[in-house]
Structure 1
Amino acid sequence: MSSRSVGGSYYSHSGADVDFLCMPPEPHYRKTTSHGQHAILYGGEFDKTFIPCAVCRKNKVSTVLMIPGKDTCYRGWNREYYGYLSHRGFAARTSFVCVHVHPEFIRGGGHNYDGKLLHPVIGSCGSLPCPPYVNNYPITCVVCSK
């Protein structure tokens, strides 16, 4: 695996993500637009210097890994599912999650109670390197196991 950069929420946004994401150097895209509300993914930086990232794994221990920006796993890993990166995007702190490309829904009658909301995540060029990322494109994700 080659060099990666760190991604996440904007440092001062209300409801910013609590986790850092390890972004792959060659992202995969399935959609080029996002409808409705969305969260935004930024690159990580030490004031004017981009931050590299690494994923560590111990042998003989089962591992499940969510990879943002990909829809396939690296060689030797098994794809459990793939979809789109999602985030709450409002005042409450939360984490990025990978939502299945064809999510199942519980039928409830069409009410909107504004509970725990999820919105697609789009990339924002600048601290997130473009290319290879594309401004305003929805970010894919994959969950892999080994």
Structure 2
Amino acid sequence: MSIRVPPAYSYIYGSEYQDVNGIFPGKHDHNVPCAVCYTSTKSVKLMIPAKISCPSSWTREYKGYLMADKYNHARNAVYECVDEAPESIAGSHTNVNGALFYFIRTTCIGLPCPPYVVDRVITCVVCTK
């Protein structure tokens, strides 16, 4: 008698904005659309956490807030810079708790305070050159 082992699966989930705290009004539980930062005339893209401006000779594409899954979620791996004027998928305000985007906040554990301030959301900027 052989044991039949079911195949292993991986799933992809939609992403939702969570706990938007008045920063993204009306976006709680709305799905985050996929986006690509593309420019045909520049070859390098740089995301800088905790900044809202780019180094000289770089072009700012957008500024926003650093977001990722909550620190205690198993998938907590990728930080994304979400535009300060976020878009969402129309009609997607149902709470299904797929992948959740939370604002990343500062801590003084491993970060110098000042210049960081405890428990503030972290800004970010996306620059190209």
Q: 2:83 aligns with which of 95, 100, 106?
A: 100
2:110 maps to 1:127:
yes
Tell me the number of residue pairs that the alignment of Structure 1 and Structure 2 aligns.
Answer: 89
Unaligned ranges ≥5, structure 2: 1-19, 23-41
Gaps of 5+ in 1: 1-33, 37-60
Distance in 2, matches of 1:109 and 1:81, equals: 24
Greater than 4 Å deviation, 4+ residue runs: none
Q: What does 1:50-89 align with in structure 2 at a 5 Å threshold?
A: 62-89=43-70
Any conservation in 1 of the 2:68–2:76 contact (CA below 8 Å)?
Answer: no
Offset, 1:94: 2.2
CA distance, structure 1, for counterparts of residue 49 and residue 93 of structure 2:
30
Per-residue deviation, 1:109: 4.8
Find the aligned partners of 2:77 and 2:100 in 1 and give their Cα distance: 11
Tell me by how many angstroms 1:93 deviates.
Answer: 3.7
Query: Among the aligned pairs, what percent are the same residue?
Result: 45
* Superposition map of 1:6-17 within 5 A: none
TM-score normalised according to structure 1 size: 0.57
Larger strand fraction of residues: 1
Q: Could you state the TM-score of these two structures normalised by the residue count of structure 2?
A: 0.64
CA drift at 1:107: 1.4
- The higher radius of gyration belongs to 2
Deviation at 1:140, TM superposition (A): 0.3
Please give the alpha-carbon distance, in whole angstroms, between the structure 2 residues aligned to 1:127 and 1:91: 22
Cα RMSD over matched residues?
A: 1.8
